[in-house]
Amino acid sequence: MPNYGVPPVALARGEGSAVWDVDGRRYLDFIGGIAVSSLGHAHPALVEAVSRQVATLAHTSNLFLHEPEVLLAERLGGLLGAPARVFLANSGTEANEAALKLAIKYGKANGRSYFVAAEMGFHGRTLGALSLTGKPSIRDQFGPFPIDVRFVPYGDADALKNAVTGDCAAVFLEPTQGEAGVVPPPDGYLRAAREICSATGALLVADEIQSAIGRTGHWFAHQADGVLPDLLTLAKGLGGGMPIGACVGIGAAGTIFDKGDHGSTFGGNPVSCAAALAVLDTIEREDLLAHVRAVGQELRDGIAAIRHPLLKGVRGRGLWLAAVLTADRSARVQAAAQEAGFLVNALQPDAVRLAPPLVVTSTEVRSFVDALPGILEAAND
């Protein structure tokens, strides 16, 4: 269907941070399947875990238990350092659907009737998650939606405080807005959101579908702010390329669902869980959080040092950055980067997203930084 337009490249294979198109041309992958290919392409640990699991037990449905899902849930709770219960899904939007159903149930039990989310925020494309999504261009034509969502400007703690009353069931926020253009909030915003939710009894839902699993140099982006949400949603980088989503309920929020309240036939698929465990093990074993902070800083500093009339600056943390332009030329930058052998993403008209694999090397980062002035020049013609 025409919903994706015409993709610019047809990819055939990958290895590490490199991919090859069907004509054998090599690119350095600086978008990583939209912050998904955390270990890069064809990482031996991922290949081994997935191959072993598919040859052992590929599917059980939710009628039966299997070891990888238990290990993964325990592992996520351990990384959070909090008592957690996990619902496993297949994608980001499904993780948010689970969070929304939990919040609706919590609201009904406590006389709380509305939800708060951020303008320009992105939570997914299915109707529940879409109703929380604040981007008019992808939301408006499918509304109206049957739940009451009130939108506030992202990063404005006073606006949030005014919007959240004792009638609010939950607040959905990204710790940094991804699809809006990799937009971090001002310091202290997440802490303020936590305080507002705790004071009013609204659930704080951190949508970390794009920001977690090492992307910012932390397991979870909210950990940098020293706050703990009530619900946490994960997907993208968790499976390293295999489809998986997770809705994590922390403390009391983990026991809102009763038997029969929710489900998924494929959710918690053993192969995807094995992939996620391999991703988490590899991040730990190869000390990738420290690596992401170091090479992310190199990438950020490298871009910030470039003086070019089309480049305004760079924002974001870890290996999750936006190069911000002085004009609406991101599509041309993306095309010029491709021509120069780099895959990047024209995220907003004036912002180019960079989300390379967490294993990207310092040399690869340097080669991108060295090529960027020429790419900007070609896009500025």
Ligand X SMILES: *Cc1c(COP(=O)(O)O)cnc(C)c1O
Which residue ranges are tagged as binding site? 92-93, 122, 125, 207-210, 264-265
Question: Quick check: 175 binds ligand X (CB under 6 A)?
Answer: no
Of all residues in the shown chain, the one whose CB is closest to ligand X is 92
Q: Does residue 207 have an active-site annotation?
A: yes
Position among 235, 246, 333, 365 found at the interface with ligand X (CB under 6 A)? 235
Comparing CA positions, the residue from 282, 268, 259 lying closest to residue 70 is: 268
Q: Does residue 122 have an active-site annotation?
A: yes
Q: Does residue 135 have an active-site annotation?
A: no
Q: How far apart are CA 212 and CA 306, in angstroms?
A: 28
Question: Quick check: 93 binds ligand X (CB under 6 A)?
Answer: yes
Choose the stretch contacting ligand X; rule: CB under 6 A; options: 46-54, 63-71, 120-128, 292-300. 120-128
CB–CB of 366/30 below 8 Å? no
Q: What is the DSSP string of 3-24?
A: GG---S--EEEEEBTEEEETTS
Q: How far apart are CA 52 and CA 265, in angstroms?
A: 22
Q: How far is the CB of 232 from ligand X (least distance, A)?
A: 12
Choose the stretch contacting ligand X; rule: CB under 6 A; options: 68-76, 174-182, 298-306, 371-379. 174-182
Q: Which of 29, 30, 151, 207 is catalytic?
A: 207
The sheet with strand 311-317 has its strands ordered as: 311-317, 320-325, 351-354, 345-348
Q: How far apart are CA 355 and CA 365, in angstroms?
A: 11
Question: Quick check: 273 binds ligand X (CB under 6 A)?
Answer: no
- Residue closer to ligand X by CB (options 204, 311) is 204
Burial of 134 (C-beta count, 10 Å sphere; 0-12/13-18/19+): buried
> CB neighbours of 182 closer than 8 A, spacing ≥ 6?
176, 315, 316, 320, 321, 322, 347, 351, 353
Question: Quick check: 124 binds ligand X (CB under 6 A)?
Answer: yes
Question: Quick check: 210 binds ligand X (CB under 6 A)?
Answer: yes
Position among 207, 230, 350, 364 found at the interface with ligand X (CB under 6 A)? 207
Q: How far is the CB of 373 from ligand X (least distance, A)?
A: 30
Position among 170, 209, 323, 365 found at the interface with ligand X (CB under 6 A)? 209
Question: Quick check: 123 binds ligand X (CB under 6 A)?
Answer: yes
Q: How far is the CB of 321 from ligand X (least distance, A)?
A: 15
Question: Quick check: 229 binds ligand X (CB under 6 A)?
Answer: no
Q: Which helix (H) or strand (E) holds 363?
A: helix 362-380
Question: Quick check: 97 binds ligand X (CB under 6 A)?
Answer: no
Q: How far is the CB of 7 from ligand X (least distance, A)?
A: 16
Question: Quick check: 68 binds ligand X (CB under 6 A)?
Answer: no
Comparing CA positions, the residue from 122, 74, 116, 82 lying closest to residue 246 is: 74
Choose the stretch contacting ligand X; rule: CB under 6 A; options: 156-164, 172-180, 213-221, 297-305. 172-180
Q: How far apart are CA 331 and CA 309, in angstroms?
A: 17
Question: Quick check: 53 binds ligand X (CB under 6 A)?
Answer: no
Burial of 127 (C-beta count, 10 Å sphere; 0-12/13-18/19+): middle
Question: Quick check: 178 binds ligand X (CB under 6 A)?
Answer: yes
Comparing CA positions, the residue from 174, 165, 177 lying closest to residue 201 is: 165
Tell the residue number behind the tokens 């990958």, with chain if given. Answer: 14
Position among 91, 131, 216, 223 found at the interface with ligand X (CB under 6 A)? 91
Question: Quick check: 122 binds ligand X (CB under 6 A)?
Answer: yes
Q: How far apart are CA 39 and CA 44, in angstroms?
A: 9
- Residue closer to ligand X by CB (options 124, 181) is 124
Widest CA span in the chain: 61
Catalytic residues: 122, 207, 236
Q: State the residues that interact with ligand X by CB under 6 A.
A: 91-93, 96, 122-124, 174, 178-179, 207, 209-210, 235-236
